[in-house]
Structure 1
Amino acid sequence: MSLLEQIYAKAKENPQKVAFPEALNEKMMQAAYETGKEGYIIPVLIGSEKEIKEAISGRNYEESIFTIIDIQEETYRQRLIEKYVALPHTILKEKALSRRIQNPLYYAMAMHAVGEVDVTFAGIDNTTGEVLLAGQMIIGLQPGISTISSIGLCDIPGFQGSEGSLLAVGDSAVCTNPNAEQLASIAISACDTVKALLDWEPRCALVSYSTVGSGQGELIDKVVEAVKIANEQRPDLAIDGEFQFDSAISPAVAEKKVKRESKVAGKANVIIWPDLNVGNVGVKLIQQFGHADAYGPMLQGFNKVICDCSRGAPVSEIKGNVVISAVRAAGSK
């Protein structure tokens, strides 16, 4: 069974409510409809009820597959505002929230914050920046997490790692040049993400051009400090480094280069890049020369699961990311 088949099977066991604030977008509605009809999620469309129903009818979809939330319906809207402002540690108060949720993206996030949906899924009509801003303003960050980041899952033909052909990598999409504190935050988030999605026991390696002091310089110092911070904040997680990439994933190389005890060296299933240059190039090398399928990027660091998909993504890819997001949400409860 392939990685996606495993994830789809998990989604069907426990379908989650997924909010689609870009409900009128043709690709988004199709992905919501198909994943809902096939039993992987419960799709919640947010916007103008009249326009949504007209689009459903015009596209010959079964309306019963969807839950439709009309952002102009006053009774539910007011109840949502009251539930949100009653939450502890919220940034927006009643008047400010009332203005913001005229936008379906913010309306979806508010529903998400109060637990009426499990995932917010957007990114075709909204930019990444808009999704991130709404998420930070309405949902907020996990305790102890200082930065939003992303993780991807690579299925690499011929690779025989600790999880077979699978390897999680991050951040390859969001955080450009993380400092030590941010790098530690990315590593902690990545461990929590893979545990929720795949039930792995994460073994997380922070990589650089040095293995346990074989090189020197400020680029290495940042990684070493990040490992220290991550271990202090989450001693329950196996996070180690600094390792060169081969020392992280190859038992034979780790045996030669890592002369101390490590739960991670040679058997890492999560790789954390030192910056976005390395991450972007690394993923593309894995894809081009390793012929890997790369799933993601999955946003992480928020209090709840938010997905920002690529604006050029085909329906098939959107569906995959919807289902992955739903499984992450189920696993994080």
Structure 2
Amino acid sequence: MYSLKEIKAILKDSKTQTIIFPEGDELKIQQTAQMLVEENLVNVILLFNKKTDIPTNANPKIQMLSVDQIDTTPYINKFVEIRGEKTNLEQATKLMQLRTYIGTMMILEQKVDAMVCGLTFTTADTLRPALQVVKVKKGFSIASSAFIMKKDDQAFIFTDCALNVNPDAKQLAQIGIMATNFAKSMNVANPETVFLSYSTKGSGAGEAVDKVVGAIAELDNIKPDFIYDGEFQFDAAFVQEVRNKKAPNTKLKKATPDVFVFPELQSANIGYKIAQRFGGFDAVGPFILGLNKPINDLSRGATLEDIYETAIYTAFQALNA
């Protein structure tokens, strides 16, 4: 998997991407913007509610916009056009006073390449305009999320830790495909993907197990171009010796798979935080997967380093969008 250093080198050698941060009034966002433009990694736009909110001593390399300065009429008309009967002029006018909607419309109009927010906005605030405007890629019915879990020379992808509360079998299969595609984009060679459960190849039973088995059946029909298997308990998934004892006929060949697909949000969210707090892994993300253009959601407790790394990965996603 690409390291952060390698991604930064790729960004410097590629067409410069532009990221909009709708939370321009947040100090950590301003500090991140300063770091990004000083390194010439990306172009940055900070969005404010009012012109009077814009700092007077900002780096001239950082573009500053405010809602009260923007002519939102083209965005209002375009939003009504794409939403059709699901909205009206009055609703669209109100929505185009919200910075997340303006940022998303700027992506649609190709004025920016990506968006990062979440320090003050909720995940719903971020995802709602993304799904309405940028929309999910053809072939998918949902968006999902993933974390990159890093420790020393180890790097894994955990999914879906932030969005889908209780996906069905078809959705779980899509989540696995999206996360594996993300792994490929991050230069993971021949990624292997494991679907987790409290059962290993029929050792347990129940509706929750049936769903994971159903996701594997969905993938068997789709025939994606990567190796996958399930259902596995985490120890069997993570430790090759245990896996070979419990499931000697597994398709997984690597010592440890690259992508771990959790059966639902509760276990996924708990799982990545256990790896982070008990295991000492750094959790980078969440990254929103499956959208036509990258829009990523920060944790409201994100540190300056978290925001900086997320912005760099987001710019890299934009290169591959």
> Does the alignment reach a TM-score above 0.5?
yes
Separation of aligned partners in 2, 1:165 and 1:89: 47
The one-letter amino acid of 1:147's match is I
Separation of aligned partners in 1, 2:66 and 2:262: 42
Residue number in structure 1 paired with 2:36: 35
Residue 136 in structure 1 maps to residue 131 in structure 2: yes
Residue number in structure 2 paired with 1:170: 159
Q: Displacement, 1:324?
A: 1.4
Separation of aligned partners in 2, 1:89 and 1:303: 20
2:107 counterpart (102, 109, 112)? 112
Separation of aligned partners in 2, 1:19 and 1:146: 26
Residue 235 in structure 1 maps to residue 224 in structure 2: yes
TM-score (norm 2): 0.87
Separation of aligned partners in 1, 2:85 and 2:189: 32
Q: Displacement, 1:48?
A: 5.2
1:275 counterpart (264, 274, 283)? 264
Once superposed, what is the RMSD of the aligned Cα atoms? 2.9
Residue number in structure 2 paired with 1:161: none
The one-letter amino acid of 2:26's match is N
Separation of aligned partners in 2, 1:90 and 1:135: 18
2:280 counterpart (275, 280, 291)? 291
Residue number in structure 2 paired with 1:208: 197
Aligned to 1:205, the other structure's residue is in SS state strand
| 8 A contact 2:19–2:112 mirrored in 1 | yes
Q: Structure 1 residues 13 and 95, CA, compared in 2 at 3 Å: closer, same or farther? A: farther
Q: Deviation digits for residues 200-250 of structure 1, max 9, x if unmatched?
A: 433111011222223322221110101222343452233321122233233
Separation of aligned partners in 1, 2:253 and 2:218: 17
The aligned runs of 1:231-270 (5 Å cut-off) are 231-233=220-222, 235-260=224-249, 262-263=251-252, 266-270=255-259
Q: Deviation digits for residues 104-157 of structure 1, max 9, x if unmatched?
A: 210110111232211111112211221121222222222232333221111134
Separation of aligned partners in 2, 1:219 and 1:94: 44
The one-letter amino acid of 2:276's match is Q
The aligned runs of 1:316-331 (5 Å cut-off) are 316-331=305-320
Q: Deviation digits for residues 26-46 of structure 1, max 9, x if unmatched?
A: 221221222122112110123
Separation of aligned partners in 1, 2:141 and 2:2: 34
Q: Structure 1 residues 225 and 264, CA, compared in 2 at 3 Å: closer, same or farther? A: farther
| 8 A contact 1:197–1:328 mirrored in 2 | no
Residue number in structure 1 paired with 2:64: 68
Residue number in structure 2 paired with 1:45: 46
Q: Deviation digits for residues 138-193 of structure 1, max 9, x if unmatched?
A: 22222232333221111134xxxxxx511111122332222212212221221122
| 8 A contact 2:160–2:268 mirrored in 1 | yes
Separation of aligned partners in 1, 2:173 and 2:260: 12
For structure 2, which runs of at least 5 residues remain unmatched after alignment? Answer: none
Seq. identity, %: 30
Q: Structure 1 residues 200 and 326, CA, compared in 2 at 3 Å: closer, same or farther? A: farther
Residue number in structure 1 paired with 2:209: 220
2:181 counterpart (192, 204, 210)? 192
The one-letter amino acid of 2:36's match is T
Separation of aligned partners in 1, 2:109 and 2:177: 25
1:148 counterpart (121, 129, 143)? 143
2:294 counterpart (299, 305, 330)? 305
Number of residue pairs aligned between Structure 1 and Structure 2: 320
Q: Structure 1 residues 12 and 88, CA, compared in 2 at 3 Å: closer, same or farther? A: farther
Separation of aligned partners in 2, 1:82 and 1:284: 43
Q: Displacement, 1:82?
A: 5.9
The one-letter amino acid of 1:127's match is T
Higher mean displacement: 111-120 or 240-249: 240-249
Separation of aligned partners in 1, 2:13 and 2:274: 35
Separation of aligned partners in 2, 1:30 and 1:327: 20
Aligned to 2:213, the other structure's residue is in SS state helix
TM-score (norm 1): 0.84
Separation of aligned partners in 2, 1:190 and 1:90: 33
For structure 1, which runs of at least 5 residues remain unmatched after alignment? Answer: 158-163
Separation of aligned partners in 1, 2:187 and 2:91: 38
Higher mean displacement: 38-47 or 268-277: 38-47
The one-letter amino acid of 2:140's match is I
Q: Structure 1 residues 77 and 186, CA, compared in 2 at 3 Å: closer, same or farther? A: same
Separation of aligned partners in 2, 1:90 and 1:34: 43
